[in-house]
Structure 1
Amino acid sequence: MRYALVAASLLALAGCQSQSGGGAGAARDQIRAVGSSTVYPFAQEAVGLFTQANPGMKAPIIESTGTGAGMKLFCAGIGSQHPDIENASRRIKKSEFEQCQANGVKEIVEVQIGLDGLAFAESDKGPGLKLTTKQVYEALAANPYGKGPNKAKTWKDIDPSLPAIAISVFGPPSTSGTRDSLAELVLTKGCESDPAMKALKDTDEAKHKQLCTQIREDGAYVDAGENDNLIVQKLIANPDAIGVFGFSFLDANRNALKDVPLNGVEAQYETVANGSYPGARPLYLYVKKAHVAAVPGLKAYLEAFAKNWNPDGPMTKRGMVAAPEDVRKTNADVVANLTVMSGADLK
C-alpha cells in the first residue's frame, strides 16, 4: 500500500509539472535542494541523519548555488524539474516571493533552522586587524558617502590607527545570501554612521541603497565565488588579506585562521547566539508544500533538521549556532504542520 501511495504521489508531481508548463521529464524519487553555501554543510549533515533513519531511501541531492541563484531556481515553478528546497543564508525577499507566486509556487513553508555569523577572518599569521562596520564600509564602498570613487589603497588610508597594508578582501559574489548579509549587517550600518546617509533612506531609498551597499570593483574586493573553502585557502596564501564567509567556516578552520573582531566583538558561538556580534543572522529553509506528498521522504528530511538543531546536537557540532528555545519550538511546529508562510511581512 505504501508503494502505491508513493507511486500516486510521483504521478501527481508529474502532473504538477505538466500543468506548470515545465515540459517532459520523469517524476523524482530523490529530494533536491539548492541554495546557500553557508547552509550547505548543515544540509549535508541532515542528509546523513536522514539516510541513517531511512535506509531504504535515496540520499537527497544538495547543490551549493548561492542563495540568490537558488531562489531563481526554486521560484521557477512546481514539478519534478524544479528543486524542492531552497537553503538560504537570509530571508526570502518580497520580490522573490512574488516571483514564486507568479510561477505557481503558491504554498511555501519557511523554516528557520538556526543562526550563523557573517565572519571576518585572516590568516593566523596575519596582522591582527580589528575593524568597525564604519571602517569596513569606507574600505569596500564604491562611492563612500557619495563623495566620489573610493581611492583608499591601504587600511591606513581609512584610519591612521590601522596598518599600512593593502586592502584585500575575499568575499562572496552578488548571487550569495552572504553578500546580501554583508550589505545589510555591515556596510549599511557603517554607511549610516554618517547622519546624512541615514536621513537619505527616508528621502531617496534607491540612492541610499546604491551608496551604502555597492562594492568597489577595482580589485580591493575579490569575488571568490560560492566556495568558502577557496576563501580559506586564499587567506592561508595571503596573510595580509581578509576573508568574509559564514561563521561555521571560521570555526572549522581556527587552526589556520583567526577572527577579525567587528566593533570590538569577536565572532564566537556565544556572541552569535546572544546577538551581540554585529554579523549574527538567521538561516532558513524554504520548501514547496506541493512537493511534500509527491517526493518520498521530503517531510522526513525536514524532521532531520528539527530533531537535531538543539544546542550540543549534530547541527551545532557541525558549526551552526542553535536558535533560542522559543524559535526552535515555533519552527519545529512549522515542520510538523507544514505551515505555509503568508509573505505579508517581507521586504
Structure 2
Amino acid sequence: MMQTASAAEMRGFVHISGSNTIRPFADAVADRISKSGKIKRPWVESTSTGGGIQLFCQPDTAESPDLVNAARPMKQAEFEACNASGIKRIVELKIGYSGLVLAHAKKGPTLELTRKELYLALSGNVPDPKCGDCDTLVPNPFKTWKDINPSLPDTKIEVIAPPFGSGVRELFEETILKAGCESFPFIAAWRETQRGKYREACFTLRKDGAYIEESGDAVVGLLAKSVGSVGFVPYKQYVNNTARLSAVSIDGVAPSVESIAANRYPIARPLFVYFKADHVGKVKGLREYLDELTSDKAWGEKGYLAQLGLVPMPAGERKLYAADAKQLKVMSAPTETVAAARISRAVQQADR
C-alpha cells in the first residue's frame, strides 16, 4: 500500500475522473484551490460515471484517479470490483442533487402528466388499451396525449428525450420508464419471472418519430420552435430559460429546489463523490479540494456551485457528509443503504 500511495504522491496533483454532469462543479472547485499558486490545479476529466468508477477501481498506480464523480450511487458489483483490486478504503461523499425538467414552450398547451402516461406515450409496446384485464402488449397506438387520457390536450405526442448511452438517459429510464411500466402489475411481475420480456417491455422505445433523441442546449431551441413538443432539460437550464419554457408537473409535483432536494420531484437524483482515504495527506491538494468542496461557500444554499446548477442538500445532511469526509469514514457497503441512513440521521438532527 505504501508503494502505491507514494506513486500517487509523486504525481503532485489531484486526479479526478467520472460524471459529465458533475464536471462543471469539479472544475469550479479545482479553480478555487489553485488560485494561490501553492497547489497545482487538479486534473479533471469526463469519462462518464461508469467509466470513471471503472478507472477508480483498477489497481492503484500513479495514473489512477484519487477521486471519482458519480451521478448515481456506486453499484454492488463496482464496490466488489474495487475491493478485489485492493481499493478498500473508499469514502462516500454526497454533494447535492440534480434534476431533469420536462418542459414545453410558453405558448404550448399546459400539461400535467404522470409517469404512467409518459411510459404509455413513449414505449414501443404497451398494454392493449382495448383489453383492460389482458397481459398482452401491442405496438404503441397512441398518437396524441388525448388518446392516452381524455383530459389531456389533443396534441401530437412529440417528446425530446436523452440519447441512448448518456448518463441522463439512465436517470430517465430509472425514474420515468421503469416507474411507469411497473405501474402495470403484470409487467412488474415479469421482472422476477421473465427478465428479458420485462426489459423489452419497459425500456424499448417507439421509433415512429414520437421520441426524439437530443440533449444539451439544442433541446431548448427545438422546444421554442416546436409548440406542442415537450423535452427533458437539466434543472439549471430550465431556470435559465423560464422566459421561454414552462415546466410540466409530474405526478402532481412541480420542479423546484425544494422538491428536488426533498426527493419529491420524480426526475431527481443525488450526486456523489468517492475518494481514496489512503491518498488524503499523501496526494498534494486532495485534502484542500475536499475541504473547499464541503464548505458552505461552495455547496451551500448560496454557494457558487448552486449558481452552476447544483441543488444543495439540507444543512443537516451537508454537516453529516462533511464530517464523514473530514474523518475519512470508510464505506462498508454499497451506498443506497448508507445514503438512506444518513438522510434519516440528518432529519433526526434537524428535529432536535
Residue in structure 2 matching 1:334, options 317, 324, 330 = 324
2:42 corresponds to which residue?
Answer: 60
Structure 2: distance between partners of 1:96 and 1:338: 20
Residue in structure 1 matching 2:114, options 119, 129, 132 = 132
Structure 2: distance between partners of 1:99 and 1:254: 44
For the 8 Å contact 1:299–1:335, the answer to whether it is kept is: no
Using a 3 Å threshold, how does the CA distance of structure 1 residues 209 and 77 change in structure 2: closer, same or farther?
A: farther
Using a 3 Å threshold, how does the CA distance of structure 1 residues 346 and 293 change in structure 2: closer, same or farther?
A: same
SS at match of 1:127: coil
1:316 correspondence with 2:306: yes
Using a 3 Å threshold, how does the CA distance of structure 1 residues 74 and 167 change in structure 2: closer, same or farther?
A: farther
For the 8 Å contact 1:90–1:177, the answer to whether it is kept is: no
My pick for the range that moved more, 294-303 or 31-40, is 31-40
Cα shift at 1:220:
3.3
Instruction: State how 1:34-113 maps to structure 2 within 5 Å.
Output: 34-52=17-35, 54-113=36-95
Q: Any stretches of 5+ residues in structure 2 without a counterpart?
A: 128-135, 338-352
For the 8 Å contact 2:92–2:335, the answer to whether it is kept is: no
Q: Counterpart amino acid of 1:105?
A: I
For the 8 Å contact 2:24–2:308, the answer to whether it is kept is: yes
My pick for the range that moved more, 247-256 or 334-343, is 247-256
Structure 2: distance between partners of 1:291 and 1:106: 12
1:32 correspondence with 2:15: yes
Alignment: residue pair count: 325
Cα shift at 1:337:
1.7
1:13 correspondence with 2:8: yes
Q: Counterpart amino acid of 1:247?
A: Y
My pick for the range that moved more, 334-343 or 66-75, is 66-75
Identity rate of aligned residues, in percent?
A: 38
For the 8 Å contact 2:60–2:86, the answer to whether it is kept is: yes
Using a 3 Å threshold, how does the CA distance of structure 1 residues 43 and 13 change in structure 2: closer, same or farther?
A: closer
1:325 corresponds to which residue?
Answer: 315
What does the per-residue CA deviation read over 1:31-80, in whole Å, with 9 as the maximum and x for residues that have no partner? Answer: 3333333323322332333234x432232333344323333343344223
Structure 2: distance between partners of 1:210 and 1:124: 35
My pick for the range that moved more, 257-266 or 41-50, is 41-50
What does the per-residue CA deviation read over 1:109-140, in whole Å, with 9 as the maximum and x for residues that have no partner? Answer: 21111122232122334333322111111122
Using a 3 Å threshold, how does the CA distance of structure 1 residues 153 and 71 change in structure 2: closer, same or farther?
A: farther
Cα shift at 1:262:
0.8
Structure 1: distance between partners of 2:249 and 2:269: 16
2:235 corresponds to which residue?
Answer: 247
1:17 corresponds to which residue?
Answer: none
For the 8 Å contact 2:92–2:275, the answer to whether it is kept is: yes
Structure 2: distance between partners of 1:160 and 1:299: 57
Cα shift at 1:203:
3.9
My pick for the range that moved more, 300-309 or 311-320, is 311-320
For the 8 Å contact 1:78–1:290, the answer to whether it is kept is: no
Q: Any stretches of 5+ residues in structure 1 without a counterpart?
A: 1-7, 15-26
TM-score normalised to structure 1 length: 0.80
Residue in structure 1 matching 2:284, options 296, 304, 313 = 296
Structure 2: distance between partners of 1:239 and 1:78: 52
My pick for the range that moved more, 291-300 or 326-335, is 291-300
Using a 3 Å threshold, how does the CA distance of structure 1 residues 10 and 306 change in structure 2: closer, same or farther?
A: same
What does the per-residue CA deviation read over 1:134-176, in whole Å, with 9 as the maximum and x for residues that have no partner? Answer: 1111122233356033343443343333334443333334444
1:23 corresponds to which residue?
Answer: none
What does the per-residue CA deviation read over 1:283-321, in whole Å, with 9 as the maximum and x for residues that have no partner? Answer: 111223344344321221122221032222222233322
Structure 1: distance between partners of 2:261 and 2:145: 30
1:343 correspondence with 2:333: yes
Structure 2: distance between partners of 1:130 and 1:109: 40
Structure 2: distance between partners of 1:34 and 1:237: 36
Residue in structure 2 matching 1:220, options 206, 210, 213 = 210
2:344 corresponds to which residue?
Answer: none
Cα shift at 1:344:
4.8
SS at match of 1:144: strand
For the 8 Å contact 2:79–2:334, the answer to whether it is kept is: no
For the 8 Å contact 1:10–1:28, the answer to whether it is kept is: no
Cα shift at 1:332:
0.4
Structure 1: distance between partners of 2:211 and 2:64: 33
1:273 correspondence with 2:255: no
Using a 3 Å threshold, how does the CA distance of structure 1 residues 31 and 190 change in structure 2: closer, same or farther?
A: same
TM-score normalised to structure 2 length: 0.79
Using a 3 Å threshold, how does the CA distance of structure 1 residues 43 and 258 change in structure 2: closer, same or farther?
A: farther
SS at match of 2:11: coil
